[in-house]
Structure 1
Amino acid sequence: MKPEEANQLLQPGYLPFEAGYQRLDNGILLVAARSSLINVKGHMIDWWFSYVHTTEQYKQWHPEDHVYSDWIGERGTGNYIGGTHIAHERLGGDTVHKLKINFRPPAELLAIEHFAAAGVSTAVHARLGEDGAPGWTAKMVHLVRDTPYGCEMRSRFWLGCFADNHLQNDYDTRVRIYPDEVGIGLQKHCHEEMSILGQFLPELYKSQHG
């Protein structure tokens, strides 16, 4: 599934590929993860992305992999779209990746008018790049469907979507910048951090909202 095919996520049930990584025919490295979060609803996920800011908060999300956090743009208002998260983190290995994550309207990727029919409670969409470097190198989405037990999050990362920089959107460049081992580490990291989030988010949300 390429980024322009992301509306496949709005189909009922599940797709054949829901977890792991695969190399697409254009060289993009697609990473997928699925997480079940108990007693967490989509609106709480949406709130979390508008809340997390400091390094201390970010480390709570994944004490081992998360190293540093800051935010550029509007904060503390419940709105995170348009803002940029500066996130230094490990992705399943020893290397610390210094990332900038710019949150974008979900409508840029998905047909949001079909969310209700698809049971989607929220979607978090962003483009990613290297902190301090020009442009962007990847896209991501966390699609959330509420369930009787809480919610499920289906995550997709498209590594190798180059924009506003000197990198060419060709097969060889994408493989060079994002080798397969990045997919292995990212899938592991995403599953771990969302599992950890599910452990503390219900109580944190309650403490903030009464």
Structure 2
Amino acid sequence: MAKKVPVTNQDREKSYFKYYADNVYCGEQEKYNQISEEPLDNSLALHIDNRNDLFLPGDLPGEFGWWLMDDGTALIANKTFFPGLTGEMFDWWFAWHPIDRLRYACWDNEDHYDVYLDDPAKALDMSKSMRERHWGSIHNIWEDIGTGNIDLLRIHFEKPSVLGYDESKVDTEVCNGLVCANVQILGSGDQPDIPVVMTHFLRPAKGGSILRSRFWFGWQIIDGKAVKCIPEGFKIPSAGPVCLLNHNVKEFSNLSKILPALYEEEKDNWAK
């Protein structure tokens, strides 16, 4: 049995502690079995320059898996069905959970250790929409992304148009939520920092929503354009995308199970 991240006695008094106390739902083993030992054919990968293809109706060729690209960058893709989920709930989650480390631990109580915001007041600004509260915010998180180490990530969330997405297509039949960010996985010792572009693309579906996630390793979006931010000749090691894909399956499987009920119970609870 995996060990849960530590919490305090004060945490045990909080109304949402029960979500931490439950065993994390890792998802179906069949999905992990689909994670290939070798990278997939790059012709199936969604290149970062074509990221607006996510708005096309239906599925793209590479909706699940991992790739090592010829230029040294890498990509993972994951797809998760969320029963009963709306775009409003998803946007609320990204505004609400970084206010308190226990909320982050409820998402994955075995791997999510801590979170703090550079500007916590913005997340609590009731004059802003849920989306506006996380646009421009920076989340500092400590988590095990599957490597067995506790990694520090700085996640700079942005308005979709800032990261080059066609925002006019959000809140339509092809997209009911879009959360995206430039990320830095901060290395320690001999491990270099790894830049990543993260996108969580939500689409309405019968009975809920489908989340389609993409992580482009080696890239950042600067002035709306994708810029390769790793040195020429450097190649993303395969362990990074493989570990993160396994972790992403786990954390979003659990979130798909708890989020609608958690939202209904806590949507107006902004105090720690």
TM-score in terms of structure 2 length? 0.69
How far 1:9 sits from its partner (Å)?
0.8
Deviates more, 1:56-65 or 1:74-83: 74-83
Distance 1:23 1:52 in 2: 32
**2:17 equivalent in structure 1:** none
**1:22 equivalent in structure 2:** 67
The answer to whether the Cα contact below 8 Å between 1:11 and 1:118 also exists between their aligned partners in 2 is no
Distance 1:147 1:76 in 2: 30
Which structure ranks higher in relative contact order (CA pairs < 8 Å, sequence separation ≥ 6)? 1
Report whether the alignment pairs 1:152 with 2:195. no
- Structure 1 or 2, whichever has the larger Rg, is 2
Q: 1:117 to 1:197 in 2, by over 3 A?
A: closer
Counterpart of 2:219, as a letter, is C
Partner of residue 196 from structure 1, selected from 254, 268, 271: 254
**2:165 equivalent in structure 1:** 110
Report whether the alignment pairs 1:69 with 2:124. no
- Structure 2: 5+ residue runs without aligned partners? 1-45, 223-227
The answer to whether the Cα contact below 8 Å between 1:4 and 1:109 also exists between their aligned partners in 2 is no
Report whether the alignment pairs 1:89 with 2:150. no
Alignment of 1:130-149 (within 5 A): 130=185, 137-149=195-207
Question: What is the aligned length?
Answer: 204
Query: Structure 1: which 4+ aligned runs deviate by more than 6 Å?
Result: none
Report whether the alignment pairs 1:180 with 2:225. no
RMSD: 2.3
How far 1:144 sits from its partner (Å)?
0.1
Report whether the alignment pairs 1:60 with 2:60. no
Identical pairs, percent: 26
Post-superposition Cα deviations, 1:164-207, rounded to whole Å, max 9, x if no partner, equal: 9xx9534522x1xx311111111111111111112221112111
Counterpart of 1:96, as a letter, is I
The answer to whether the Cα contact below 8 Å between 1:86 and 1:131 also exists between their aligned partners in 2 is no
- Structure 1: 5+ residue runs without aligned partners? none
Distance 2:267 2:110 in 1: 28
